[in-house]
A and B are shown apart, each in its own frame.
Chain A
């Protein structure tokens, strides 16, 4: 989805350490910020779920047993599109297409390998940029219907 800078109406950026206790904060903060686009309950949950997956990936895979900084940026575009960027400077992904396959995981028993599948099916756009040793950036996009426009 091509989004134009001139249509950008608002944005915010959060930086926080890769502690699992921050997962709930990150998804709730993203949901609170997009509220100004008047999304449906289902759209809010879709976005919360996708953000939760991306942030968890950064914590579990990007930084593994180390602590690093995660940057969460939410951008709102007119009339009603949201773009969310989750970036880490962790270990990066060797093989992105393999990582995106359903049920593939390098994590422990508590990981299902469904993170990217959920991000893909709950959002309208998913892009992953990564370089081993440099980090990973996940870009999520979703078009919300403009309910205020008739």
Chain B
């Protein structure tokens, strides 16, 4: 799991690449949480276009990151979602809670 980000005009864009399962989820959640606290973005975009695989661990990562953004007064958008990750998020109904593209 590789995490890269850029912060431009209050929008924090985070790019994830590799595989996201339980093994990667705990450290990724901590990393994303720290990024939100450091940058306090009005808008955060979690770009999943580089993900090769995601299981239900990704659901917890998205939901927790969305809550973290909201608690800091911002919003989260998930972008570039590959079909496999989309299917997992849709199965859990996360598209009704978080803006997923």
Q: State whether A24 touches B19 (Cβ < 8 A).
A: yes
Most buried by B among A45, A102, A114: A114
Which candidate, A53-61, A92-100, A126-134, is the interface stretch facing chain B?
Answer: A53-61
B59 CB within 8 Å of chain A? yes
Secondary structure at chain B's binding surface: helix, strand, loop or mixed? helix
Give Cα distance in the complex from A23 to B91, angstroms.
21
Q: State whether A53 touches B19 (Cβ < 8 A).
A: no
Considering only CB atoms and an 8 Å cut-off, how many residues of chain A contact the other chain? 27
Considering only CB atoms and an 8 Å cut-off, how many residues of chain B contact the other chain? 22
Interface residue ranges of A90-124 to B (CB < 8 Å)? 102, 108-112, 114-115, 117-118, 121-122
A binding-site residues for B, Cβ under 8 Å:
20-21, 23-24, 27, 42, 45-46, 48-49, 52-53, 56, 59-60, 102, 108-112, 114-115, 117-118, 121-122
B33–chain A nearest beta-carbon distance, Å? 10
